Structure 1
Amino acid sequence: MTTSSIVRPDGAHLKEPIIPSKHGETQSFSIARRNPLALDSKVAASSIDNLNQLLADTITLRDLYKKHHWQASGPMFYVFHLLFDKHFEEQSKLTDLLAERVQTLGGVCFAMAPDVAEATIIPRAPNGREDTATQIARLLQAHEIILLEARTMARDAASAGDLGSNDIIVSNVIRTSELQVWFLAEHVQ
């Protein structure tokens, strides 16, 4: 294997493999590949766009949960620290399902934080720590945004014949979000 040498500021030499590449990007983000799924290409393209939007918002919600997990405070610290982490893990599973569905349909899924930040419609949280009531309100708002778009996207996918996308959205995204909303809302009654 061929290697190149990099010199660090401290003078140390590091060897890096040179990975041969005949091409750079193999598929543009905006171009869908046609997979033999017995699904009209326009339907697939529409679902790819919708699922990528839902993916960007789900990644943002997932990251909000981790932020609040790390920054939990107050007398209920331990409860929220665990709850936010549990919800983070559940949202992580959803991001994987959504990304894989985009790829299955022939699209390219969002994969980098700057792309997600540019695409999400969930308002950005401040860098600093917020009190628990504000954290919960922010999470409930993000869930509501996702649920509104997910219901519309599920109906659109079903009416267009994309039952696979409809199933993922209804059985996973909507049901998980509804359950998480219930757990959060119980703390603000």
Structure 2
Amino acid sequence: MSSQKSARKAAQTVGENPLRIDEEKAEQVIDALNTDLADAYVLYHQLHKHHWNVEGAEHRDIHVFLQEAYEEVEEAADEIAERVQTLGGVPHASMATLSDVATVEPEDEDVYDIRTSLQNDLEMYGDILESYREHIDLAAGLGDHGTAHMLREQLIEVEEHAHVIDHYLEDDTLVVDSATN
């Protein structure tokens, strides 16, 4: 696969960083960030799945929203991975490792109605929000205010997506149920 005889940097290692954050502290933040990275990729794939499979009267709006959501999750994942590297770590990159490290449980392969799909997404967003809050506190407590700031900015986006999904799940709709008329 690669012509390089040995890895430049082994996975699961932490080295010096230009931010002058102690390696032991950086390692704790890197572990948290790699969890966030893994969770982001699980969410990304689930949102993408729902984007592909959405049907019904609100198809277009939800289809567009889900694309915007998974694209923002991908951008956040990239920012997290780059921060891991900046802190002297190695961001998780293999699907097997990401799957093993993720703390959120993905929906199975079946296709569900959009209400069920969005409920599953909202549940995952909630789990990620809780994790982000813990990791913000961890990073700030270890003196890594840059990571805490980055995660706070991402937290705002995640909260906004959860808010929009919550609104999609409300009972009020313009769609008339033909079975009740």
> Any conservation in 1 of the 2:18–2:86 contact (CA below 8 Å)?
no
Deviation string 1:8-32 (CA, Å, 9 cap, x unpaired) is: xxxxxxxxxx9742x2322221111
- Alignment match, 2:77: 95
Pair 1:46–1:182, CA change in 2 (3 A): same
- Alignment match, 1:132: 114
Structure 1 gap ranges (5+): 1-17
- Alignment match, 1:175: 156
- TM-score where L is the length of structure 2: 0.89
The higher radius of gyration belongs to 1
SS of alignment partner, residue 12 of structure 2: coil
Amino acid at match of 2:158: S
Query: Number of aligned pairs?
Result: 170
- Alignment match, 2:59: 77
User: Alignment identity in percent?
Assistant: 26
- Alignment match, 1:160: 142
Structure 2 gap ranges (5+): 171-181
Amino acid at match of 1:98: I
- Alignment match, 2:103: 121
Moved segments of 4+, more than 6 Å: none
Deviation string 1:26-61 (CA, Å, 9 cap, x unpaired) is: 222111111231211111000000000011001111
Distance 1:184 1:69 in 2: 13
- Alignment match, 2:168: 187
Q: Which of the two has greater strand per residue?
A: 1
Q: Aligned-residue CA RMSD in angstroms?
A: 1.4
